[in-house]
Structure 1
Amino acid sequence: MGLTNQNSENKKKKKKNLNPESEFRFALDTCSKNKDLIGALSLFERAVSQNLTLNSYHFNNLLYLFSNSLSETLDPSSKNSILENGFKIFDRMLGSNINPTEATITAVARLAAAKDDGDFAFELVKTMGKYNISPRLRSYGPALFVFCRKNDAEKAYEVEEHMVFMGFNLEEPEIAALLKVSAECGREEKVYLYLQKLRNSVRCVMESTAEIIEGWFLSKLGSDVGNLNWDAGRIKDAVLKNGGGWHGQGWLGEGKWEVCRSNVSLEGRCCCCGEYLDCIDIDRLETQKFAESVASLAMQRELKSNFKDFQKWLDDHTEYEFAVDGANVGFYQQNFAEGGFNLSQLNSVVQELYKRTQKWPLVILHTKRVRALMEVPSNQQFLEEWKARGALYTTPNGSNDDWYWLYAAVKLKCLLVTNDEMRDHIFELLGRNFFLKWKERHQVRFTFVKCALRLQMPPSFSTVIQESEKGSWHVPLDVECGTWLCINRQKSCENPKEISVGLDSHEIDRKAFSDQTSASSFTVTSECGFRSFSVPSQLPVNGTLAVNGKRKDRSPSPSNFPPH
Structure 2
Amino acid sequence: YMHAGVQCYSTPLDISHRAWSPLSSLARCCMQFVNALSRAHRQRMLACVSNLHGSIQFRCTGARPQGLVGGHPGRSRREIPQHFAWRATLPPLNAQHIMQTVDSASSGGRRKKQRIETPLTLMRQALVQATRQNSWADAWQAYQSAKKQDIKLTADVYNSLLFMCAGGEEWEALCARGQEAGETGPHNGDGVPSCETRLEVGQSLFSEMEALFGTPSEMCFTALARLAAMAGDGKRALALGEELVSQGVPPKLRNFTPALHAFAAHRQASEALGLFTRLQALSLSLTEDDYRLIIRAACGSPLWASMQDVFLAMGEELTVLQPGTLEVVEAYFEALSSQAEGPGPFTLSRQTVRADGQDDSGGEPIQAVKLSSAERDTFIKGIANLARRSQREPNKFEQFDAWLEERGSPEIIIDAANVGFYGQNAGAGMFCFPQMKTMVEHLGTVFPGKKPLVVLSAGRAQRIQKLDPALRTFFAKLEEQGSFFVTPFGSNDDWYWMYAAVRAGEVGVLVSNDEMRDHTFQLLAPRYFEKWKQRHQVRYQIYNTLVTLQLPAPYTACIQHLPDGAWVFPLSVTRWLRAQPACVGPPTGTLPPGQAEFGADPALQPQL
Question: What is the TM-score with the length of structure 1 in the denominator?
Answer: 0.70
The aligned amino acid for 1:323 is I
Task: Kindly indicate whether the alpha-carbon contact (under 8 Å) linking 1:441 and 1:458 is maintained by their aligned counterparts in 2.
Answer: yes
- Say if 2:440 is the partner of 1:346: no
**Residues 1:122 and 2:238 aligned together:** yes
* Partners of 1:63 and 1:108 within 8 A in 2: yes
Letter of the aligned partner of 1:144 in structure 2?
L
Q: Is the 8 A contact 1:364 1:401 kept in 2?
A: no
Per-residue CA distance 1:279-320 (angstroms, 9 max, x = gap): 433233322333344455556624366234313224xx35x5
2:304 aligned residue: 188
Q: Which residue of 2 aligns with 1:447?
A: 541
State the Cα deviation string for residues 260-282 of structure 1 (Å, max 9, x = none).
12222344322333643234332
Please point out which of 479, 488, 494 is paired with 2:580: 488
Q: State which drifts further: 126-135 or 25-34.
A: 126-135
Q: Which moved more, 1:210-219 or 1:330-339?
A: 330-339
The aligned amino acid for 2:601 is: P
Which residue in 2 is equivalent to 1:307?
A: 400
Contact 1:175 1:197 in 2 (8 A): no
| CA deviation after TM superposition for structure 1 residue 47, in Å | 1.8
Q: Which has the higher contact order (CA 8 A, sep 6+)?
A: 1
SS of 1:63's equivalent in the other structure is helix
Show the counterpart of 1:515: none
After superposition, the Cα gap between the structure-2 partners of 1:345 and 1:223, relative to the gap in structure 1 and judged at 3 Å, is farther
The answer to whether the Cα contact below 8 Å between 2:455 and 2:496 also exists between their aligned partners in 1 is: no
Structure 1 residue 263 corresponds to structure 2 residue 352? yes
Separation in structure 1 between the aligned mates of residue 178 and residue 268 of structure 2, nearest angstrom: 26
CA distance in structure 2 between the aligned counterparts of 1:129 and 1:292, rounded to whole angstroms: 29
Q: Which residue of 2 aligns with 1:501?
A: none
Confirm or deny: 8 A CA contact 1:270 1:276 kept in the other structure: yes
Equivalent-residue separation in structure 2 for 1:116 and 1:427 (angstroms): 35
Which amino acid is 1:345 matched to?
Q
Instruction: Quote how far apart the aligned CAs of 1:191 are.
Output: 0.6
Alignment of 1:362-401 (within 5 A): 362-365=452-455, 373=464, 376-383=468-475, 385-386=477-478, 390=481, 392-395=483-486, 401=493
- SS of the residue corresponding to residue 278 of structure 1 reads coil
> 1:48: how far off?
1.8
Greater alpha carbon shift after TM alignment, 350-359 vs 144-153: 144-153
Structure 1 counterpart of 2:484, which letter? Answer: Y
C-alpha distance 422-81 of structure 1, shift in aligned 2 (>3 A):
closer
- Measure the CA separation in 1 of the matches of 2:298 and 2:427: 64
Amino acid at match of 2:208: R
Distance in 2, matches of 1:305 and 1:277, equals 39
Q: Once the 2 structures are TM-superposed, how far is the Cα of residue 152 of structure 1 from its aligned partner?
A: 4.2
What is residue 513 of structure 2 aligned with on the other side? 419
Equivalent AA in structure 1 for residue 422 of structure 2: Y
Aligned-partner SS, 1:281: coil
One-letter code of the match for 1:62?
A: L
Summarize deviations over 1:10-50 as a string: whole Å, max 9, x none.
9xx99994111112222233333334433433332232232
Question: Deviation of residue 489 (structure 1)?
Answer: 2.8
CA distance in 1, matches of 2:563, 2:309: 17
Among 272, 284, 306, which residue is 1:156 paired with?
A: 272
Find the counterpart in structure 1 of residue 529 from structure 2. 435
Q: Is the 2:415–2:454 contact (alpha carbons within 8 Å) kept by the matching residues of 1?
A: yes
The residue that corresponds to 2:566 in the other structure is 472
Shift of 1:165: 4.4
Q: Secondary structure at the match of 2:571?
A: strand
Q: Tell me how far apart the structure 1 counterparts of residues 125 and 222 of structure 2 sit (CA, whole Å).
A: 24
CA-based RMSD of the aligned residues comes to 4.0
Distance, in Å, in 1 between the alignment partners of 2:267 and 2:429 is 66
Structure 2: how far apart are the matches of 1:196 and 1:171? 14
1:393 maps to amino acid: F
Counterpart check, 1:32 vs 2:131: yes
TM superposition shift of 1:349: 1.4
Deviation per residue, 1:60-86 (Å, 9 max, x gap): 222222221882884447414433333
The answer for the alignment partner of 1:409 in structure 2 is: 501
**For residues 346 and 338 of structure 2, what CA distance do their matches in structure 1 show?**
11
From the superposition, tell whether residues 406 and 223 of structure 1 become closer, same or farther in structure 2 (CA, over 3 Å): farther
Q: What is the distance in 2 between the residues matched to 1:220 and 1:330?
A: 55
Kindly indicate whether the alpha-carbon contact (under 8 Å) linking 2:234 and 2:263 is maintained by their aligned counterparts in 1.
Answer: yes
Deviation at 1:97, TM superposition (A): 2.7
Residue 365 of structure 2 is matched in structure 1 by 276
User: In terms of Rg, which structure is larger?
Assistant: 2
Q: Which runs of 5+ in 2 are unaligned?
A: 1-38, 44-95, 105-111, 183-192, 585-596
Structure 1 residues 94-116: Cα deviation after superposition (integer angstroms, max 9, x where no partner):
23235422332222212222332
Over 3 Å counting, the alpha-carbon distance change for 1:427 and 1:332 in structure 2 is farther
Q: Distance in 1 between matches of 2:125 and 2:386?
A: 49
Secondary structure of the residue that 1:127 maps to in structure 2? helix
Q: Is the 8 A contact 1:186 1:221 kept in 2?
A: no
Distance 1:420 1:209 in 2: 28
Q: TM-score, normalised by structure 2?
A: 0.66
Give the equivalent residue in structure 2 for 1:561.
Answer: 606
The 2-side partners of 1:367 and 1:59 are apart by 53
| 1:535 paired residue number | none
Partner of 1:458: 552
Cα deviation, residue 445, structure 1: 2.1
SS of the aligned residue for 1:358 comes to coil
Change (3 A) 1:25 1:342: closer
User: How far apart are 1:374 and its partner, in Å?
Assistant: 5.5
Give the secondary-structure state (helix, strand or coil) at the position aligned to 1:444: strand
Q: Quote the residue 1:43 is aligned against.
A: 142
Partner amino acid, structure 2, of 1:458: P
Secondary structure at the counterpart of residue 96 of structure 1? helix
Q: Does the 8 Å CA contact 2:382/2:525 hold for their aligned counterparts? A: no
Q: Is the 8 A contact 2:319 2:530 kept in 1?
A: no
Residues 185/339 of structure 1: CA separation in 2 closer, same or farther (3 Å cut): closer
* CA drift at 1:53: 0.7
CA distance in 2 between counterparts of 1:29 and 1:336 reads: 45
CA distance in 2, matches of 1:220, 1:424: 42
Deviation at 1:166, TM superposition (A): 4.1
Give the conservation status (yes or no) of the 8 Å contact 1:323–1:417: yes
Change (3 A) 1:446 1:302: farther
One-letter code of the match for 1:562?
Answer: Q
Question: Contact 1:330–1:346 at 8 Å: present in 2 too?
Answer: yes
Asked whether 1:323 is paired with 2:413, we answer yes
Letter in 2 for 1:197: A
Cα distance per residue 1:226-278 (max 9 Å; x no partner): 6xxxxxxxxxxxxxxxxxxxxxxxxxxxx532111222234432233364323
Q: Secondary structure of 1:198's partner?
A: helix
Aligned partners of 1:321 and 1:359 also within 8 Å: no
Query: Aligned equivalents of 2:514 and 2:114: distance in 1?
Result: 55
Deviation at 1:143, TM superposition (A): 2.0
Amino acid at match of 1:259: L
Rounded to whole Å, the distance in 1 between the matches of 2:178 and 2:583 is: 48
Q: Distance in 2 between matches of 1:31 and 1:416?
A: 52
Q: Are the equivalent residues in 2 in contact too, given 1:365–1:401 (CA < 8 A)?
A: yes
Aligned AA (1:446): Y
- Matched to 2:121, the amino acid is S
